[in-house]
Amino acid sequence: MDWKKLQNIDRRIIYILLILATVIPMINPIGIPVSVGASAQKFYNFMDAIPAGDKVLFSMDFAASGAPDIVPEAKAVMQHLMDKGVKVVSIAFWDNGPMFADQLMKTYEDQGFEYGVDFANLGYIPGGETAIKRFGEDVVGSVSKDFRNNSISSLPIMEGIKDTRDFAAVIDFAAGNPGTEEWIRQVQGTLGINFFVACATVSVPQAMPFVNSGQVTALLGGMRGAAEYETAMGKPGGAVAKMDAQSLGHLLIIAFIAIGNIAFFMDKKQAR
């Protein structure tokens, strides 16, 4: 056997196979099993126990660079809450946040849900940590109009909301600062809210001490966290499909590394 050929596979073949291994599962998911970790299960269980009609706050604190990890998390949680009849209010302390919140909500408006009743987008508040503190303690005093220029007082979903303790849960979809640490310092610690984090994969180590201390009730970490949440719901979606693609891509790379090494040692052995 010509082991030299296996050591020098045309890189175009490798690229084509890698493209196929990542694209095909996203078009037609394979369904590689995803185990649900303890934190994702705790996150799901809490959301599942929220009664219909209660309200959850989304803090959309990320930009486009964090969207590939965080948007799938937000979609999974939003789907779960909408299916249960739980209402969602969003706020953002990053200027890109309201755009992502509006995209989420428009999907459900197309399905017959009503803006202002089932969900609302309060837009962006500048000011970082100071703004988070003020909003946490006085929601209606911090925002007069929503992202669509409606008066906050005209939105039925805002009835009974004074501060963040009036939400069944606050979820920070976070990619950095301001975000998780500021919410914990200024709001969670002082008001004792039920605080959850859904973050980019690279932010998980930074968030874990707060999970271990109990200040963060539960955590979703990146695309994997979104896939675990979809699995817990029993509704595998885009995140599970992307995990299929990631897993197959990694397996293919490992296979080529193994082939290259086997071919190298067999060629040396044959040459003796």
pLDDT score, position 103: 96
Q: Is residue 32 part of a domain?
A: no
* Average pLDDT of the chain to the nearest whole number: 93
Same domain, 191 and 265: no
15 and 59 housed in the same domain: no
Do 197 and 265 fall within a single domain?
A: no
Kindly state whether residue 33 falls inside one of the protein's structural domains.
no
DSSP characters over 175-227: SSSSSHHHHIIIIIHHH---EEEEE-GGGHHHHHHHHHHTSSS-EEEHHHHHH
Who's near 26: CB < 8 A, 6+ residues apart? 241, 242, 244, 245
pLDDT per residue rounded down to tens, the chain (272 residues): 677 777 778 889 889 999 998 888 888 877 788 899 999 999 999 999 999 999 999 999 999 999 999 999 999 999 999 999 999 999 999 999 999 999 999 999 999 999 999 999 999 999 999 999 999 999 999 999 999 999 999 999 999 999 999 999 999 999 999 999 999 999 999 999 999 999 999 999 999 999 999 999 999 999 999 999 999 999 988 888 888 888 888 889 998 889 888 888 887 777 66
107 and 22 within one domain: no
Q: Are 60 and 135 in the same domain? A: yes
Predicted TM-score (pTM) of the model is 0.87
Measured distance CA(161)–CA(265) in Å, rounded:
69
| Domain boundaries, position 14 | 3-27+245-271
180 belongs to a structural domain: yes
pLDDT per residue as tens digits for the range 120-141: 999 999 999 999 999 999 999 9
Q: Strand 219-221's sheet: what is its strand order? A: 119-124, 87-92, 55-61, 169-174, 195-199, 219-221
Name the token pair of 225.
């966290």
203 and 136 in a common domain: yes
The enclosing domain of 118 has a CATH number of 3.40.50
Verify that 193 and 265 share a domain, yes or no: no
In a domain, 240, yes or no: no
Does residue 230 sit in the same domain as residue 249? Answer: no
Answer yes or no: do 44 and 23 share one domain. no
Is the same domain home to 230 and 262?
no
- Indicate whether 21 and 45 sit together in one domain: no
What pLDDT shows up at residue 29?
Answer: 78
- Residues 11, 75 within the same domain: no
Measured distance CA(260)–CA(91) in Å, rounded? 51
How many domains does the chain divide into?
2
